[in-house]
Structure 1
Amino acid sequence: MSTAHFQQLYEQADDPWQVRQRWYEQRKRSLLLASLPAPRYRHIFEPACGNGELTAALSERADRITASDVSPAAVALTRRRITTVNARQVATVEVQCQHLPGEWPSEQFDLIVISEMAYYLPPADLPLLLERCLRTLAPGGAVVLCHWRRPFADRLLDTDAIHAAFNASPALHRIVNHQEADFLLDVWSNNPHSVAQHEGISP
């Protein structure tokens, strides 16, 4: 999808997918947050941040967040949304305008959250997306993918195929797999231990 398409969407409405109002979106966001394997993260990367609703929620569990979107209007909305969070959290968030996966940042992240983004990519970009995640994932870090499963006009990649490509990587170990008719939520880590194993509950 072109930058102009998303720019137009966010210029016409500050919440084009109603991620604030819809219970579906609120519940999905809560499930994603509950699926994170650690209570807090040093540095989170959130590509395709949209209007910043998930960014704001993640900021409560991060020392630092790098968020980005292809649309300058979405970047402005995320920056505005972050100002409604407390002052300490505002200082942790940097929002950039980037065309991903090509303009992927070079830093190391211990959490990468890709939500409702990868199905817009042309098929040739899926291996690059995976490579960028693997290259910038810190030791013990986690990658989250969450995507709508049903057909829609702008889709270029199938959700199940996207998640299957990540699951096939020998460098990643799936620690969460949540499937519904509407969406798919997966979490992988480059550390094979479960949350219970990290806490010494399970051998």
Structure 2
Amino acid sequence: MHKATLLIDTEHQTAAYSETYFDALYNDNSDPWQYQTRWYEKRKRDICLAILPQANYVNAIELGCGNGVFSELLAERCLSLLSIDGNQKAVELAKQRLANDSSIKVIQGVIPQALADGLTDNNQTYDLIVISEILYYLPLTDIDRVITWIKQSLATGGTLLCCHWRYNIDGFEMTGETVHYRLQQAFNKENKLAFTHQSQIVDSDFLLDVWQRSAQTIAMQEELI
């Protein structure tokens, strides 16, 4: 997984900081967080892949793909994958990495605006939504817009995976703690839409939550109970 690089809406005070910050990170550097070399990042990716409740998915979307390191692995589990990031250089790098896989489409777009402005099909539903290391760059109002989109876009029986760094990030008010608390408020009590909180990992460094849009756990689906 990765700390994604998305551009914040210019109406918010952190906009100029975030855009120039991520542009600077990718200036003459194709892997600013060392996704390919750090054991921390590989371990986190492996945990995320292992915790997915289904072996394979038909139609997946990844919000915040960075340079595509995790996208490449995620695509092995998906028939179709749409990956989005806000940073132009990150998108170019992801496209280069994933060029030989026709099942993956990489686009540049600002979250949450990209989810509503035609970059994605508003009538499309996904059986896997992956949101990694991006929501703490957004104000709470935009996080709630993403949550609303999830409720509209996650297919029946589908999976939502969210993973975020737990520590403070200079220039931003949100942390992984505040983000996942808000996600739990939104989905753990969502009886009408039958979201099951399938898995939760509270690591010393990151938080990982997985929901299924189903009233049944994996064991129930496999008729073990």
- Alpha-carbon offset, residue 173 of structure 1: 2.1
Contact 2:128 2:159 in 1 (8 A): yes
1:59 corresponds to 2:75: yes
Percent pairwise identity? 33
Q: Does 1:20 align with 2:36?
A: yes
Displacement after TM superposition at 1:55 (Å)? 0.3
Q: Which residue among 100, 103, 121 is the counterpart of 2:138?
A: 121
Q: Aligned partners of 1:146, 1:123: CA distance in 2, in Å?
A: 17
Cα distance in 1 between the residues matched to 2:141 and 2:78 = 32
TM-fit CA distance, 1:79: 0.8
Structure 1 position 101, deviation (Å): 0.9
Question: Of residues 102, 114, 128 in structure 2, which corresponds to 1:103?
Answer: 114
1:19 partner SS = coil
Tell me, yes or no, if structure 1 residue 112 matches structure 2 residue 123.
no
How far is 1:157 from its partner?
1.2
> 1:131 pairs with 128, 136, 148, which one?
148
Report the Cα distance in structure 2 between the residues aligned to 1:154 and 1:37, rounded to whole angstroms: 35
Q: Calculate the aligned-residue CA RMSD, in Å.
A: 1.4
Normalising by structure 2, we get a TM-score of 0.83
Deviations 1:37-79 (A, max 9, x none): 1000011100110010110000100000000100111111111
Q: Secondary structure at the match of 1:63?
A: strand
| Whole-angstrom CA distance in 2 between matches of 1:156 and 1:198 | 40
1:196 alignment partner in structure 2: 219
Unmatched segments (≥5 aa) in structure 2: 1-14
Paired residues, what number? 197
**Letter paired with 1:101:** P
**Which runs of 5 or more residues in structure 1 are unaligned?**
none
- What is the one-letter code of the residue matched to 1:97? Q
TM-score by length of 1: 0.92
Q: Offset at 1:127?
A: 0.7
